[in-house]
């Protein structure tokens, strides 16, 4: 199984970082030059729902999907260059024999936020298990995608950020796929836990924070808060009935 890392030509510091991460676990990777929003001014008018950086990121992932779709391997692993790898990641990236036969996508990453997964898990090593992923789990810094799923995605007209395209179950690009989560996760974005140590802030995260601040909703009234809490409890009960549960995915 080929591992690919998306990296901007103008980010040699990130390439040095991710090279050290993969060397740490004894796995090689192919660098895929990222599409750079700074050199593509037309992205500003591409879609009202995508920032230029999100559009460039989506195109970069699409380049990787095309490589996998045209390649010989049944699966390929895609990473972004600010990823931190668990020291236990090596065996999972060196062999694809553990991947469920019906898997379209396996999320290797955690965003350290709650998502919805199946209660039943399958052990695939002494450290890791796989479980069906049913909730939205943000981030596309590390995942495995099948050749068939890659072919499907590149054939579609896409108008959402890459991680939404892959992991947002409200979108048909995700809901039509058999998506699994690795437990615990074998990678995480650097800026979630070590921003001060490495200084590799996420360009996408910065844009999303600015947009979220500009579009921040007004504070909820007590009645609205009560309604939100009631809906949350209802979702939890419904998930239990469907043998699902909320969980924050830990890092190995």
Question: pLDDT value at position 235?
Answer: 55
Is the predicted pLDDT of residue 204 greater than 80, yes or no?
A: no
pLDDT tops 90 at residue 194:
no
Domain ranges of the chain: 2-248
pLDDT tens, 73-131? Answer: 999 999 999 999 999 999 999 999 999 999 999 999 999 999 999 999 999 999 999 99
Higher pLDDT, 231 or 60: 60
Tens of pLDDT, residue by residue over 25-72, are 999 999 999 999 887 877 666 667 788 889 999 999 999 999 999 999
Summary mean pLDDT of the chain: 87
With 0.85 as the threshold, say if the pTM is over it. Answer: no
Q: What is the pLDDT of residues 149-188, one digit of tens each?
A: 999 999 999 999 999 999 999 999 999 999 999 999 999 9
The architecture CATH gives domain 2-248: Alpha-Beta Complex (3.90)
* pLDDT at site 5: 98
More reliable by pLDDT, 8 or 200: 8
For residue 229, is pLDDT > 70?
no
Q: How far apart are CA 89 and CA 173, in angstroms?
A: 27
Burial of 127 (0-12, 13-18, 19+ CB in 10 A): middle
Quick one: tokens of 9? 């030509």
């Amino acid at each position: 199984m080929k591992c690919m890392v998306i990296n901007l030509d103008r980010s040699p510091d990130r390439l040095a970082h991710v090279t050290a991460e993969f060397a740490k676990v004894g796995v090689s990777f192919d660098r895929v030059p990222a599409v750079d929003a700074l050199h593509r001014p037309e992205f500003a008018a591409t879609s009202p729902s995508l920032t230029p950086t999100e559009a460039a990121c989506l195109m970069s992932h699409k380049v990787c999907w095309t490589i996998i779709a045209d390649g010989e391997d049944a699966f390929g692993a895609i990473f972004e260059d600010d990823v931190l790898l668990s020291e236990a990641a090596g065996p999972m990236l060196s062999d694809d024999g553990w991947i469920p036969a019906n898997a379209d996508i396996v999320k290797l990453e955690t965003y350290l936020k709650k998502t919805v997964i199946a209660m039943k898990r399958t052990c695939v090593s002494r450290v890791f298990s796989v479980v069906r992923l049913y909730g939205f789990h943000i981030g596309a810094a590390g995942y495995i995608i099948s050749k068939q799923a890659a072919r499907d995605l590149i054939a579609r007209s896409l108008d959402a950020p890459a991680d939404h395209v892959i992991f947002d179950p409200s979108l048909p690009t995700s809901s039509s796929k058999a998506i699994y989560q690795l437990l615990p996760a074998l990678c995480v974005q650097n800026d979630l836990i070590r921003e001060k140590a490495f200084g590799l802030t996420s360009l996408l995260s910065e844009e999303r924070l600015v947009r979220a601040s500009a579009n921040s909703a007004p504070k909820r009234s007590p009645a609205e808060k009560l309604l939100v809490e009631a809906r949350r409890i209802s979702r939890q009960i419904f998930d239990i009935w469907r043998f699902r549960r909320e969980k924050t995915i830990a890092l190995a």
